[in-house]
């Protein structure tokens, strides 16, 4: 809920796009009071529950600062009070001002085939990226056979170049948000979901199966630790966070910045009946992505939008998660174009895992976490 504030004797720290005051600071005796023109509940709990007030906002490719402003305001208050002895979080590895986290959702045959090309490009540019793989080993009725000998060779080539691999589900089904929770006994030997066009639904699917079996396959076949997940189509079933917890994940990027109302990572939680439940997971909101309308004609328009988001986030030391599907030369051109556009910034560019380990090492997690 947006409110215009009467300034009076207060100092306006921020304004709405129409110029009216949005955040005020007022000196009260020896202290200070801060007033924001929105209710924190809407940008903290309602966003996680997909209950954003008003018209549904775009999910990605637009600047979204609601929740980030709250975090920056608290940091500013702490900086002012703590003075020279303050201990502050660093925003990106290697002393950089902010981060661009490059991820690729690999969920089609052409994506697998082009993974080595994109991996080689990024290595030649001096950074690693994260490749999130959909690992269906048979044609599920929705996606074809991806995780066969050729597909595994594509994954291995990305690993050989030092890139990070994570999970993008087992079957990338269009109705994953309707999935039953599952039993916890799902394995590669007994989990065989299949999409039925006659029924217009996936039969045999579970939330646990999609996250658990995909993780197990990648870890068992490649000897790596898979700790991060992004769901197909960013769909969220009931008890999604519990499914991630039970299957051993530490990170997720299934919520878009337009839904979380900001791009800063946060500890995942649910709010039910006034009860807040936190999970041993950090959510990394996805801020920009390649839209379905990307074409030769719209390439400049898309890169313009990406650049605006990155520069606004950069000004606030906020990380930006990019998702780009490796499906065409055009996508490669878009990646090269945005990297050139922001080359003047003191920006760290790299993979999700490296950034996450840096971010979480500064105190996001605790000794109760696995």
Domain harbouring 232, CATH code: 3.20.20.370
Q: Alpha-carbon distance 364 to 281, whole Å?
A: 10
Token readout for 323 is 């998702």
Is residue 212 domain-shared with residue 321, that is, in the same domain?
Answer: yes
Residues 135, 1 share a domain: no
Q: Is the sign of the CA dihedral 76, 46, 130, 247 positive or negative?
A: positive
Question: How many Å apart are CA 133 and CA 142, to the nearest integer?
Answer: 15
Regarding whether 106 and 11 lie in a shared domain, the answer is no
What is the SS3 assignment for 309? helix
Name the token pair of 338: 């945005």
Is the domain of 31 the same as that of 149? no
Q: Which residues contact 192 (CB under 8 A, 6 or more apart)?
A: 138, 204
Question: Which pLDDT score is estimated for 83?
Answer: 74
- Residue 75 maps to a domain: no
Could you tell me if 115 and 131 are in contact, meaning their C-beta atoms sit under 8 angstroms apart? yes
Within a 10 A sphere around the Cβ of 278, how many other Cβ atoms? Answer: 12
Q: What end-to-end distance do the CA atoms of the chain give, in Å?
A: 38
Q: Is residue 71 part of a domain?
A: no
Contact 133, 165 (CB under 8 A): yes
pLDDT digits (tens, 9 = 90+) for 105-135: 999 999 999 999 999 999 999 999 999 999 9
Does some domain include residue 81?
no
d(CA 80, CA 34): 13
Is residue 285, in this structure, part of any structural domain at all? yes
The helix, strand and coil proportions of the chain, stated in percent and rounded to the nearest 5, come to: 35, 20, 45
Same domain, 19 and 104: no
State residue 236's pLDDT score: 96
Q: Is 326 domain-assigned?
A: yes
Residue 135 sits in the same domain as residue 226: yes
Q: What is the pLDDT of residue 71?
A: 81
Q: Which domain holds residue 198?
A: 93-360
Answer yes or no: is 118 within a domain. yes
β 98-106/130-133 pair status? parallel
**Number of neighbours of residue 222 by Cβ within 10 angstroms:** 15
Q: Do 165 and 280 share a domain, yes or no?
A: yes
Q: For residue 57, is it left (φ>0), alpha (ψ between -120 and 50) or beta?
A: beta
- Angle between helix 207-222 and 149-160 (nearest 10): 70
The counts of H helices and E strands in the chain are: 10, 15
Helix, strand or coil for residue 99?
strand
pLDDT of amino acid 52: 53
- Number of domains into which the chain is organized: 2
3-state secondary structure of 103: strand
Shared domain for 305 and 162, answered yes or no, is yes
Per-residue pLDDT of the chain (370 residues; tens, 9 = 90+): 455 556 677 777 777 778 887 777 777 666 666 666 655 555 555 554 555 555 556 789 999 887 887 788 778 877 877 777 788 889 999 999 999 999 999 999 999 999 999 999 999 999 999 999 999 999 999 999 999 999 999 999 999 999 999 999 999 999 999 999 999 999 999 999 999 999 999 999 999 999 999 999 999 999 999 999 999 999 999 999 999 999 999 999 999 998 888 999 999 988 777 677 889 999 999 999 999 999 999 999 999 999 999 999 999 999 999 999 999 999 999 999 999 999 999 999 999 999 999 999 998 776 666 6
Asked whether residue 64 is domain-assigned, the answer is no
> Quick one: 303 and 214 in the same domain?
yes
């Amino acid at each position: 809920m947006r409110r215009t504030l009467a300034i009076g004797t207060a100092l306006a720290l921020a304004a709405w796009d129409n110029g009216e005051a949005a955040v005020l600071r007022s000196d009260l005796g020896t202290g200070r009071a801060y007033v924001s023109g929105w209710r924190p509940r809407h940008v903290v709990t309602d966003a996680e529950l997909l209950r954003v007030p008003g018209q549904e906002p775009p999910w990605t490719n637009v600047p979204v600062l609601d929740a980030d402003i709250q975090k920056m305001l608290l940091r500013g208050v702490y900086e002012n009070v703590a003075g020279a002895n303050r201990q502050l979080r660093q925003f990106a590895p290697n002393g950089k001002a902010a981060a661009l986290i490059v991820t690729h959702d690999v969920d089609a045959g052409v994506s697998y085939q082009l993974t080595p090309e994109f991996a080689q490009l990024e290595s030649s540019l001096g950074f690693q990226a994260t490749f999130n793989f959909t690992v269906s080993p048979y044609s599920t009725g929705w996606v074809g056979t991806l995780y066969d000998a050729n597909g595994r060779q594509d994954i291995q080539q990305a690993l050989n170049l030092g890139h990070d691999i994570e999970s993008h589900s087992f079957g990338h089904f269009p109705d994953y948000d309707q999935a039953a929770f599952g039993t916890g006994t799902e394995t590669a030997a007994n989990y065989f979901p299949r999409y039925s066009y006659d029924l217009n639904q996936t039969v045999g699917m579970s939330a646990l199966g999609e996250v658990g079996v995909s993780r197990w396959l990648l870890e068992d076949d490649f000897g790596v630790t898979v700790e991060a997940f992004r769901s197909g189509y960013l769909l969220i079933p009931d008890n999604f966070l519990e499914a991630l917890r039970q299957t051993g994940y530490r990170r997720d990027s299934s919520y878009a910045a337009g839904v979380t109302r900001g791009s800063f990572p946060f500890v995942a939680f649910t709010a039910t009946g006034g009860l807040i439940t936190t999970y041993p997971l950090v959510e990394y909101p996805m801020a920009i992505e390649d839209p379905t309308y990307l074409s030769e004609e719209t390439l400049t328009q898309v890169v313009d939008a990406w650049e605006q988001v990155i520069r606004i986030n950069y000004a606030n030391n906020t990380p930006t998660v990019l998702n780009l599907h490796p499906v065409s030369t055009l996508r490669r051109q878009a990646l090269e174009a945005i990297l050139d556009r922001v080359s003047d910034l003191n920006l760290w560019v790299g993979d999700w895992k490296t950034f996450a380990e840096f971010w979480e090492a500064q105190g996001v997690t605790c000794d109760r976490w696995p």
